[in-house]
């Protein structure tokens, strides 16, 4: 069992928890995720690691209520436990694998939408701890949906906050801020990392492609099983078939077919849709072993 050391509501239906999981904390890197299960009958929920403390043996997760399982998670308090807390899974951010001196010469832009601020934070923090500054844009629908602003401000080189309704910070979408920084202020970025809702990442990529800024996106929003066996996170990346949970979750955003990924995500929500996807995609429907059976 994995004990919850802290539980708090960050914003409307968005929660943060510190969980005692020493083995995971000792091995994880920014960009990876864990699979959390409440009890023997609970659903497996893949959640990106928001922060970690190797000495304390803790992992910080952030989740939004979207269904019955996350509704149950929200009711947990400090002292309660998770039945399973598996990880780290997925590939770490490519930034942590780069030569540090080369990385210090790069101009890096992070774009976080909504709960996407959670997986962005550990990457920005890692860079900050290694002497690398990065610009960060955080966007949310309204002020009361904004999370991790203070934490991000402490590690970002420059932080730009925007809300769709203009209730806080700048007014408008994150793409408006990107245009302002590049077209008006003349900032030149070597890479952009965008994490958030699928539609946000799609439009960020359309803009950064126009601006000739290489862009990385995290496809964790489409993960379900987290092992490649269910076929939920199958996506087209250029001319290759990839699975977000085993090949990612980060990919070249300019090569991701967002339209197909969003369509598949909607189809996967129904039994009929899953059956149709399995029929259409054949052996490429599943990652992992490719022949596990997955969804009927």
Per-residue pLDDT of 139-177, as tens digits, reads: 999 999 999 999 999 999 999 999 999 999 999 999 999
Angle at 212 between CA 206 and CA 215, to 5 degrees: 65
Residue in this structure with the two tokens 């699979």, named with its chain if needed: 35
Buried b (16+ CB within 10 A) or exposed e, 255-276: bbebeebbebbebbeeeebbee
Alpha-carbon gap, residue 248 to 245, rounded angstroms: 6
Q: Does an H or E element contain 205, and which?
A: helix 198-210
| Cβ neighbours of residue 11 closer than 8 Å, sequence gap 6 or more | 144, 145, 146, 147
Counted domains in the chain: 3
Per-residue pLDDT of 78-103, as tens digits, reads: 999 999 999 999 999 999 989 999 99
Whether residue 210 is found in the same domain as residue 245: no
Angle at 214 between CA 174 and CA 251, to 5 degrees: 90
pLDDT at 238: 94
Considering the entire predicted model, what is its pTM? 0.89
94 located within any domain? no
Whether residue 199 is found in the same domain as residue 131: yes
Both tokens assigned to 225: 């099983």
Whether residue 204 is found in the same domain as residue 228: no
Summarize the confidence of residues 68-86 as an average pLDDT: 95
pLDDT at 157: 95
Whether residue 178 is found in the same domain as residue 78: no
pLDDT at 270: 59
Domain holding 272, by residue range, is 219-291
φ, ψ at 289 (rounded to 5°): -75, -25
pLDDT at 122: 97
């Amino acid at each position: 069992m994995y004990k919850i050391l802290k539980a708090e509501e960050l914003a409307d239906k968005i929660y943060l928890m510190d969980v005692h999981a020493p083995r995971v904390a000792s091995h994880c890197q920014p960009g990876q995720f864990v699979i959390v299960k409440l009890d023997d009958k609970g659903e497996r929920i893949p959640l990106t690691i928001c922060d970690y403390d190797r000495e304390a043996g803790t992992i910080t997760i952030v989740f939004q209520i979207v269904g019955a399982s996350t509704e149950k998670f929200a009711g947990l308090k400090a002292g309660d436990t998770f039945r399973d807390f598996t990880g780290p899974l997925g590939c770490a951010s490519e930034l942590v694998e780069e030569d540090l001196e080369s990385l210090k010469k790069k101009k890096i832009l992070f774009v976080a939408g909504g709960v996407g601020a959670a997986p962005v934070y550990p990457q920005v923090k890692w860079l900050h701890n290694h002497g690398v500054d990065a610009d960060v844009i955080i966007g949310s629908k309204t002020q009361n949906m904004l999370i991790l602003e203070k934490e991000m401000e402490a590690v970002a080189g420059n932080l730009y906050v925007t809300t769709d309704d203009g209730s806080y910070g700048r007014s408008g979408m994150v793409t408006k801020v990107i245009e302002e920084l590049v077209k008006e202020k003349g900032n030149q970025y070597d890479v952009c990392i965008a994490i958030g809702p699928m539609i946000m990442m799609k439009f960020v990529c359309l803009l950064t492609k126009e601006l000739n800024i290489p862009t990385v996106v995290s496809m964790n929003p489409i993960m379900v099983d987290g092992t490649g066996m269910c076929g939920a996170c199958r996506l087209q990346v250029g001319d290759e078939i990839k699975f977000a949970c085993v090949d990612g979750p980060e990919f070249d955003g300019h090569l991701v077919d967002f339209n197909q990924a969003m369509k598949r995500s909607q189809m996967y929500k129904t039994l009929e849709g899953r059956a149709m996807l399995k029929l259409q995609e054949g052996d490429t429907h599943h990652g992992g072993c490719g022949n596990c059976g997955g969804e009927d």
